[in-house]
């Protein structure tokens, strides 16, 4: 307990109890999940657990730890080698028009100030932020190649089954959401019967809003600092899996997600997508998916797997 109090920054409160089991005294050390991550040693080192060993965190791993804690937001950082020439100005004008701002009639200085104040560009050179590029950019994957969705539809219930369809969905985040939702909808089998003059589904099929919400959640809340992994959508005979890179933030648990607790890993992206009417920022998305499945006696599973978050929606 002294080590936890004096050798860890910030200090950690742990609990210690002793119990008697079969004539032996057993010490129970309870280390709670920390709310002030990342923690460092008193000699200023940050360690991460890999298998059964500890090692000093790399720069990228440390950046992800600070992002999970809410101290740092990757979506507001600049994307090197980008400029205003990478911007879709037609989309930008339509976006600001909703707020009674005629972007095209602004002076260059006013345009620059507006773009900087809304976190679309960063710094004095007019470099696009990650959020600005992903929402308003032209071909964002040229600079952020892993910021895309990989879709695969398998014949069976295993990833080794034969492929029915495979697509790589790129573009801005709103385009990715619309396209991925349409792809899922087109790949779902809808057995139907004729009743009178109407065709009705003979088996339960989730409404489109469920699939859309899962894709929106994956695109808006994934960790874009993890450069080696795309968002993956796998469709099997019995289920749909949506896997997004990045852990849940420090204060969020799977149970809290079901109850509607939300935390923006990417607050700038969330702001833009809310303004584009893709989310309402009230935390109602995943609870809606959970309740929709529960209402129809289906199962939905939320789980963390290392540096990824997975949602499994059973058909």
266-293: pLDDT as tens digits: 889 999 999 999 987 555 778 889 899 9
Q: What is the mean pLDDT of residues 186-215?
A: 78
Cβ 133 vs Cβ 86: under 8 Å: yes
Q: Strands 8-9 and 40-41, how do they pair? A: antiparallel
To the question of pTM greater than 0.85 for the whole model, the response is no
Which of 53-67, 85-99, 101-115, 138-152 comes out lowest in average pLDDT? 53-67
- Res 183: pLDDT: 97
Place of tokens 């809290």: 256
- What contacts 227, CB < 8 A, 6 or more positions away? 146
Percent of the chain exceeding pLDDT 90 equals 55
- The 8-class DSSP code of residue 182 comes to H
Q: Going from the N-terminus, what domains does the chain have, and what CATH number goes with each?
A: 2-72 (no CATH), 84-139 (no CATH), 149-314 (3.30.565.60)
- Is 70's pLDDT higher than 60? no
Distance in angstroms between the alpha carbons of the first and the last residue of the chain: 48
Pairwise CA distance, residues 186 & 45, whole Å: 50
Which of 75-89, 118-132, 182-196 comes out lowest in average pLDDT? 182-196
- The 8-class DSSP code of residue 221 comes to H
Strand, helix or coil for residue 168:
strand
């Amino acid at each position: 307990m002294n080590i936890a109090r004096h050798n860890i920054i910030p200090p950690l409160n742990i609990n210690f109890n002793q119990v008697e089991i079969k004539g032996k005294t057993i010490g129970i050390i309870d280390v709670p999940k920390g709310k002030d991550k990342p923690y460092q040693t008193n000699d200023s080192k940050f360690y991460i657990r890999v298998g059964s060993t500890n090692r000093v965190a790399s720069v990228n791993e440390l950046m992800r730890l600070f992002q999970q804690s809410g101290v740092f937001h990757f979506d507001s950082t600049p994307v090197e080698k980008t400029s205003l020439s990478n911007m879709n100005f037609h989309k930008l004008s339509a976006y600001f028009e909703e707020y009674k701002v005629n972007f095209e009639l602004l002076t260059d200085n006013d345009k620059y100030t507006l773009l900087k104040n809304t976190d679309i560009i960063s710094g004095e050179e007019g470099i696009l932020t990650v959020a600005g590029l992903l929402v308003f950019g032209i071909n964002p994957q040229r600079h952020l190649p892993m910021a895309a969705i990989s879709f695969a539809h398998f014949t069976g219930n295993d990833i080794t089954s034969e492929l029915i369809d495979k697509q790589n969905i790129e573009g801005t985040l709103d385009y990715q959401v619309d396209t991925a939702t349409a792809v899922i909808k087109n790949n779902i089998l809808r057995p139907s019967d004729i009743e009178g003059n109407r065709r009705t589904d003979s088996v339960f099929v989730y409404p489109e809003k469920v699939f859309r919400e899962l894709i929106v959640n994956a695109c808006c809340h994934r960790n874009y600092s993890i450069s080696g992994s795309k968002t993956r959508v796998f469709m099997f005979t019995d289920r749909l899996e949506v896997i997004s890179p990045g852990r849940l933030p420090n204060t969020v648990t799977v149970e809290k997600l079901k109850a509607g607790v939300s935390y923006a890993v990417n607050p700038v992206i969330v702001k833009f997508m809310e303004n584009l009417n893709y989310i309402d920022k009230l935390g109602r998305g995943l609870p809606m998916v959970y309740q929709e499945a529960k209402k129809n006696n289906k199962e939905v599973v939320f789980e963390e797997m290392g540096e990824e978050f997975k949602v499994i929606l059973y058909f």
